[in-house]
Structure 1
């Protein structure tokens, strides 16, 4: 990395929710940002304005991670925005279209979820990784962060496709970690718990009431919802090299929900 050049992070699904939380924390940590999302709308423009107010340079790229044919061009555009990529945050994801179980889940609902959460994320990470490897080793800390979920290892029978996509994405993180380690690229996995976002609090089938009941019953030791900034600060710490000897093992941001008890 050139002297005095700020590190660059790419955040997929960066216009709102966890992506916005990650981008804001990265900006506060000194990163410039490339946001990839479906729509450059008022929400995206507000996020960009907030990032710029935090001192970051920002580039928005319109892209759909499920559209694999466009990944090479999208990755190159992200690379060219500020002359390289130091961190890719694989955050873009979707909730199930509707609640179902393994007996009622349709192929269309399954494909919609896994095409974004798993297949698209894998191949976009591949496209960016190829650019990072081709650039050669760097003195700067370079990383990839995969945002999975507590659904990667907590079974929720009403959202099978989501659980499958996140469990598989956890394996993807480990595969990239072992492949990229020799190139000086650190790969991390972050598993959010019950985080207050549009995905968890809005729309048909949103699990708001179930989550609040879970919290009220004492299943989350910190006794609160997680916030976007909780995940963002974790990602920024990892991207900044704050845990340099931690590779691929899940970092839980769940208020203690995943602690096994007798």
Structure 2
């Protein structure tokens, strides 16, 4: 492994992505953030630099395949390689099957699932330059439940997040033994996307979670950082549910 440890986080400007960036910085990684939210990304970059880490930022639509290749080329030119890729960027979709226009379904799949293809294909060559790496993709509890009645997102989102689990298992076989590929499945987490739900029903939701509270970005980030550790454990092709053990909410 090269002296500099490099981690790429899509959707790294805020929420779970920001939490992952902080957790990886604490473990000695320099960060590459990809997001459309330029002001929030600048804030996160400043926070990481205050922690003593270097940070590159790229404003980009993660559904854009060509842009992912451009970003990988820029990272290679600047830092030479990549050790970790966190596919975190996502988009909610509360529409039912009969309400959802085709273009909205396509966009949900593109942001949540195709983006993983885009960035894995772009950054695997940079991992192989240093003998391998780790990929962690953000699925969801909805991949298992299909989205409960009160979920922020329904069938389109659940479809994309379930696709991530299949992609994770397939790529763990395809990219091993040098690259470990895993996923995490958060439940209800306090983020900008989920805040409407957690603010209005936080106490009610907590009663139906075994640990008695809704999750925080740090709860997810700690698991992502573990999977992205410098000395990877004997784990690949797996997903870890991070939901405090919740039932129908």
TM-score (norm 2): 0.90
Residue 10 of structure 1 is matched in structure 2 by 8
Q: 1:74 is paired with a residue of what secondary structure?
A: helix
**Of the candidates 185, 209, 224, which is equivalent to residue 191 of structure 1?**
185
Q: Distance in 1 between matches of 2:78 and 2:108?
A: 29
CA 1:80–1:254: 2 relative to 1, 3 Å: farther
User: Cα deviations across residues 197-231 of structure 1 (Å, max 9, x unaligned)?
Assistant: 000014xxx57545653322xx2101111111111
CA 1:243–1:222: 2 relative to 1, 3 Å: farther
Alignment of 1:1-262 (within 5 A): 1-2=1-2, 5-41=3-39, 43-96=40-93, 99-133=94-128, 135=129, 137=131, 142-156=133-147, 159-182=154-177, 184-202=178-196, 206=197, 208-209=199-200, 212-216=203-207, 219-241=208-230, 244-257=233-246
Paired residue total: 244
CA drift of 1:196 comes to 0.2
Q: Distance in 1 between matches of 2:86 and 2:203?
A: 28
Task: Please list every run of 5 or more consecutive structure 1 residues that lacks an aligned counterpart in the other structure.
Answer: none
Over aligned residue pairs, what C-alpha RMSD do you find? 2.0
Task: Please list every run of 5 or more consecutive structure 2 residues that lacks an aligned counterpart in the other structure.
Answer: none
CA drift of 1:136 comes to 5.9
CA 1:61–1:95: 2 relative to 1, 3 Å: same
User: Cα deviations across residues 227-255 of structure 1 (Å, max 9, x unaligned)?
Assistant: 11111111111111565111121112111
Q: Distance in 2 between matches of 1:104 and 1:180?
A: 38
